[in-house]
Structure 1
Amino acid sequence: MDFIDRLSGLAGGSMSRGAPAQKLFSLADLSPAVQTHLQEVYLTLAVALFLSAGGVYVSALTGFAQGLGMIGFLVSVPWMMSVPASPGTLRKRRMLFGTAAASQGLLVAPLVRSALALHPGVLFTAFAGTAGVFACFSAAALLSPRRQYLYLGGLLSSVLSTFMLMRVASFFFGGGALLFEAELYGGLAVFSGYVVYDTQVIVERCEAGLKDPLRDALDLLVDFFAIFARLLVILMRNAEKKDRRQRDGEERDGGRQRQRTTRSYRM
């Protein structure tokens, strides 16, 4: 609510007192060190997205499946986390980070290939929508008072744990379709919240002197692809429903046309 009140107050002030609009997006509350660190983190995230796109492209050419991506991600991420962040280990950690980013691309590649084969138009919409959601929630975290959203960590982790327990229970009691809907839309909300939480954690870690752009960018990369995958599935399902309604309408129109033709022939 504080973020919304801040937006309303700044918007009202700009109309009544001519306050400059750039105050709305001012990061003056962040120290120069934090601002510099955030620039490094988002630049590293951009590189990671490029590497992930390369992973999708390699998967399309070679047919590498999700299994290889899962192995690469599960090996490279803990390995990178176990290596201390220092100038001497920077090259090694960068290689592990690049492996994790490319593996993330391999993980999402089958879904991207399905979208390209069935509804290619939704792919760009999903990416643009994910970027928009990511930017908005990141701005909410950066423009809100410090530590305001750190409590979300426990809440979001609890929701994910609940989803995991529900998935295990579905193997014994059924209800997989309902669980899929809950994970799809609930997961979209949860990982949008993680963008806010992780962004504020990055700021607090930097203020405490813990600067690790690779680790911070990796956290945001996981959030980005979690949102992207769910949003892409939602858009593909909506496109499929639209196509189905269109086919049903064409079939009904064709049936009416055949009936009229039959009547005319009999006359």
Structure 2
Amino acid sequence: MFTITMRAGPGRLAAHAPQLARAFHSTPKTNTFFTARTVLRANAKPSSSIISRLQGASRGYHQYESAYMDPATRRKELYRKLMIGGAIFGGTLVTVNAVFNRETREDGGMPPFERSYLNRTFLHTGLGVGIIGLSAYQMVQSGFVWRIMTANPWAVGLGGLALSIGSMIATRSIDPDNYIPKYLCWTAFNATQAALVAPLLTIAPPALLARAGLYTVAMMGSISVVGATAKQDKYMYLGGPLLAGAAIVAVSGFAPLILPATAVRTLAFTENLWLYGGLAVFGGFTLYDVQKVLHHARLAQRGIIKEDPVNESIALELDFLNIFIRMVQILMMQNNRRK
């Protein structure tokens, strides 16, 4: 027996507004759920559907990858990708430290309680991302992704969005002492995110997904280090501006549904805004969320709130997914330019 506490009131809703806003656009711009053309007729030729065009892009990347079948060449390519990931991590760490983090902690570093709370939050974040990845892979292998892509796109898209937001609110509302229902709702939230991300596995090849994951981990890891070593609550003011930026990025993602196809320059601008502006916004959200975790750790230590690393991990998972999706799209665009 457990109770779900509904957190009402403008103050509490505003506190969760960044997470709710990010859930609305945690799917890629090429998400087939919101495209009516994904409905295949019984006797339609596959070449006329958006699914076949996306598969054509995947085949082109596989042809490009065929040049790396030699084991020695593949090892060199792997080392090169690892070096690039390390360079992204180190470069982001140095750059953000130099620009934003000139003043660090003066009290001898992070207290043990804050470090422990942050480590548990990152542990749950990693577990959540792992659940999303494995669930998405199973959905592809079982054919579930194909069935939902060929179903009613608006019903599937809106239903999936409602389940995603509903499971997130339920997870955050359950008291952390009710372990079983809380973790069940958290698992359901990760499953809904997997259903929204799974189409990427049918579009992009594994090598590209691995590179995007490596770059995402490097980017988020370096920004998290900066947020953890900064002065207390230094970046907490970013919540409002980041929420406004997330709203602009979300609107730019729906531009192709509104603007005519002849507005090429405008569509190109909104696409760049969605991709690169989204990277900047969710990189800032990572910085903000890490500082918020440390702030909540201090409140929990004083007994004001309860420790809840599950709730803390949800925001970081959404940051990871939004950055990862954009990394995949950017890498696919770069691959298409090479042809």
What TM bracket, shorter-length normalisation? 0.7 to 0.9
Which one of 80, 94, 98 corresponds to residue 183 of structure 2?
94
Matched residue type, 2:276: Y
Higher relative contact order (CA 8 A, sep 6+): 2
Which one of 131, 140, 145 corresponds to residue 226 of structure 2?
140
Q: Is the 8 A contact 2:255 2:270 kept in 1?
A: no
Q: Is the 8 A contact 2:232 2:291 kept in 1?
A: yes
Aligned pairs for 1:170-249 (under 5 A) are 171=258, 175-209=266-300, 210=305, 211-242=307-338, 244=339
Matched residue type, 1:236: M
CA deviations 1:87-140 (Å, max 9, x no partner) are 2x1111011111112221221111122002xxx422111000000001000001
Q: Is the 8 A contact 1:3 1:143 kept in 2?
A: no
Pair 1:123 & 2:209 matched = yes
In structure 1, stretches of 5+ residues that fail to align are 10-23, 245-267
Cα 1:28/1:114, change in 2 over 3 Å: farther
Q: Distance in 2 between matches of 1:157 and 1:69?
A: 22
TM-score if structure 2 supplies the norm length?
Answer: 0.60
Aligned pairs for 1:1-267 (under 5 A) are 3-4=97-98, 28-65=108-145, 67=156, 69-85=160-176, 87=177, 89-116=178-205, 120-166=206-252, 171=258, 175-209=266-300, 210=305, 211-242=307-338, 244=339
Q: Is the 8 A contact 1:27 1:143 kept in 2?
A: no
Q: How far has the Cα of 1:158 moved from its partner?
A: 1.1
Q: Distance in 2 between matches of 1:41 and 1:135?
A: 13
Q: How far has the Cα of 1:180 moved from its partner?
A: 1.6
Q: Which has the larger radius of gyration?
A: 1
TM-score if structure 1 supplies the norm length?
Answer: 0.75
Q: Is the 8 A contact 1:41 1:214 kept in 2?
A: yes
Q: Distance in 2 between matches of 1:201 and 1:74?
A: 21
Q: Distance in 2 between matches of 1:167 and 1:6?
A: 29
Q: How far has the Cα of 1:49 moved from its partner?
A: 1.5
Equivalent residue of 1:153, what SS?
helix
CA deviations 1:227-247 (Å, max 9, x no partner) are 0000110001101211x2xxx
Matched residue type, 1:101: N
Q: How far has the Cα of 1:167 moved from its partner?
A: 5.5
Q: How far has the Cα of 1:204 moved from its partner?
A: 0.3
Equivalent residue of 1:146, what SS?
coil
Q: Distance in 1 between matches of 2:298 and 2:129?
A: 26
Q: Distance in 2 between matches of 1:51 and 1:135?
A: 19
Cα 1:143/1:176, change in 2 over 3 Å: same
Cα 1:231/1:113, change in 2 over 3 Å: same
Identity between Structure 1 and Structure 2 (%): 24
CA deviations 1:146-173 (Å, max 9, x no partner) are 1111121111111122234556677267
Q: Is the 8 A contact 2:140 2:201 kept in 1?
A: no
Q: Is the 8 A contact 1:59 1:106 kept in 2?
A: yes
Q: Which stretch of the first structure deviates more once superposed, 30-39 or 195-204?
A: 30-39
In structure 2, stretches of 5+ residues that fail to align are 1-94, 149-155
Equivalent residue of 1:235, what SS?
helix
Q: Distance in 2 between matches of 1:168 and 1:52?
A: 25
Q: Which stretch of the first structure deviates more once superposed, 159-168 or 182-191?
A: 159-168
Q: Distance in 1 between matches of 2:100 and 2:253?
A: 40
Q: Distance in 1 between matches of 2:204 and 2:279?
A: 18
Q: Is the 8 A contact 1:191 1:227 kept in 2?
A: yes
In the TM superposition, structure 1's runs of 4+ consecutive aligned residues that sit over 6 Å from their partners are 5-9, 24-27
Q: Which stretch of the first structure deviates more once superposed, 207-216 or 225-234?
A: 207-216
How large is the Cα RMSD of the aligned pairs?
2.9
Q: Distance in 2 between matches of 1:156 and 1:36?
A: 27
Count of aligned pairs between the two proteins: 224
